[in-house]
Amino acid sequence: MIDSLDFAKVMADETRQRIMALLCCRWLCVGDIVGEMQGISQPTVSHHLAVLRDAGLVHTRRDGKQVFYSLNQDEVAVCCGRILRNFAPQVPVAAISVSE
Amino acid sequence: MIDSLDFAKVMADETRQRIMALLCCRWLCVGDIVGEMQGISQPTVSHHLAVLRDAGLVHTRRDGKQVFYSLNQDEVAVCCGRILRNFAPQVPVAAISVSE
DNA sequence: GCCACATATTGACCGACATCGATATGTAAG
DNA sequence: CTTACATATCGATGTCGGTCAATATGTGGC
């Protein structure tokens, strides 16, 4: 349960957002993530996964030697709801464009 | 029109979020903002207002010697919508808690 | 014009964090 | 239990950005 500030800090990194995009709607193990992130070392990916894990923004599952991650979309939605409540209280929910 | 990454970077600072909260639903001039932000100097406040202005997250109005700012809630909502679209596409909009 | 006030910009400093190589930990196979 | 592989942690380095004092710019009054 992170607040708006911590959520923003976690999101405020390009590498992390790339990893989040990779993990959206699917499970990937660390090795596969490293494979998709050209130019980023394994320790760096592992570091970012730890940040995301500590923030509760990813799900984790171990399978043998591999550890799989996937994005916790519900938590993302909760954090966005918190930002909207704090900083856009007068905008009707229906007006928030989610499609396209 | 900033993307998810720049939006997160702008939001990822406590001082900026405090200023944004002050400017939510009302106009304040720089002097009044400085007055509310104890421990933060006028140049620092001005710097953060410039960041918010460049990001399009505040409205600006000059009145004589004073410059007034207020939060651009619509832009906040647009940016949150973008995050939801990118990182929570499978969460129904109705499930996003905005109240309370 | 000059002065007083409000805000913005500049330049320097410092802390936070992203990144890496090296190494440690964990796990399964043989 | 040793080896090989997958992931995590450590320590060092470099960069980015928040902060301030000092100064510049802008605005209205006289």
* Chain B residue set in contact with A, beta carbons under 8 Å: 4-5, 8-9, 11-12, 14, 17, 20-21, 24-25, 71, 73-74, 76-78, 80-81, 83-91, 93, 95-100
- Per-residue pLDDT of B24-72, as tens digits, reads 999 999 999 999 999 999 999 999 999 999 999 999 999 999 999 999 9
pLDDT at B100: 60
pLDDT above 70: residue B99: no
pLDDT for A99: 65
**C-alpha span between A43 and A32 (Å, rounded):** 14
Which of B83, B85, B90, B100 to substitute to test the interface with A, most A CBs within 10 Å? B83
Ordered by start, the domain boundaries in chain A are 4-95
pLDDT in tens, B69-97: 999 999 999 999 999 999 999 999 888 87
- Report the C-alpha gap between B34 and B28 in whole angstroms: 10
The per-residue pLDDT for A100 is: 60
pLDDT at position A56: 98
B94 half-sphere exposure, CB direction, 13 A CA radius? 0
The shortest CB-CB distance from B80 to any of A21, A73, A84 is to: A84
- Positions of chain C reached by protein Cβ under 7 A: 5-11, 17-22, 26-29
Chain A residues within 8 A of B11 when measuring between CB atoms: 4-5, 8, 11-12, 83
Would you call A89 helix, strand, or coil by DSSP? Answer: coil
List CB contacts of A28: < 8 A, sequence separation 6 or more: A22, A36, A68, A69, A70
Specify the pLDDT at position B1: 87
Contacts of A17 in chain B (CB under 8 A): 4-5, 8
The pLDDT, as a whole number, for residue B76 is 98
Residue segments in chain A with a per-residue pLDDT below the cut of 50? none
User: Is B17 within 8 Å of A4 when comparing Cβ atoms?
Assistant: yes
Q: Is the dihedral of CA B82, B96, A81, A74 positive or negative?
A: negative
CATH of A4-95, one of 3.90.1580.10, 1.10.10.10, 3.40.190.10, 3.30.70.1400: 1.10.10.10
pLDDT reported for residue A94: 83
Among candidates A4, A74, A87 on the partner chain, residue whose Cβ is nearest the Cβ of B71: A87
**Which member of B9, B76, B98 has the closest CB to residue A93?**
B98
How far lies A39's CA from each of A20, A43, A45, A79, B60, in Å?
Answer: 17, 12, 11, 30, 41
Model pLDDT, residue B98: 64
What is the per-residue pLDDT for A96?
85
* Contact indicator for A7, A55 with CB cutoff of 8 Å: yes
CB-CB under 8 Å, A99 with B91: no
pLDDT of residue A1: 86
Q: Domain spanning B4-88: which CATH class is it, in words? A: mainly alpha
pLDDT digits (tens, 9 = 90+) for A17-38: 999 999 999 999 999 999 999 9
